[in-house]
Structure 1
Amino acid sequence: MQIIRIPVLSDNYIFLLWDSVRKIAAVVDPAVAKPVLTKLHELNAELVAIFNTHHHSDHVGGNRELMTHYPNVTVYGGESDSGRIPGQKVFLREGDSVEFGDRTGAVFFVPGHTRAHIAYYFPPVTPEETGELFCGDTLFAGGCGRLFEGTPAQMVDSLSKIRTLPDNTRVWCAHEYTLKNLQFALSVDGNNQDLQQRYTKVQASRNQGEATVPSLLGIEKLTNPFLRWDIPALQTAVKTSEPVQAFARLRGMKDTW
Structure 2
Amino acid sequence: MSETYTAYLPVDDIEKDDLVIARHLSAQEAMRIACGYDDGWRVRLDEEDHDSFVQYTWRAHANRKDLANLPYRNENLQATVVRSGQAERDRTLGMDMIAAQFLRISHRYWQGRIESDEAFDKRVKRVAEKREVRRIDREIATKLMDALIADGYTITCDLQDTEHEFERSTDRDGILDYMWQVEIVEMWAHKGKKRGWLRLIFDENGWDLVQDYTTDLEHIVDPICEPYLPWNQPNANELDHWIRVLALGSPDDVLRIEEMLK
Both proteins in one fold, TM over 0.5:
no
TM-score normalised to structure 2 length: 0.23
Please tell me whether Structure 1 or Structure 2 has the larger radius of gyration of its CA atoms. Answer: 2
Q: TM-score, normalised by structure 1?
A: 0.23
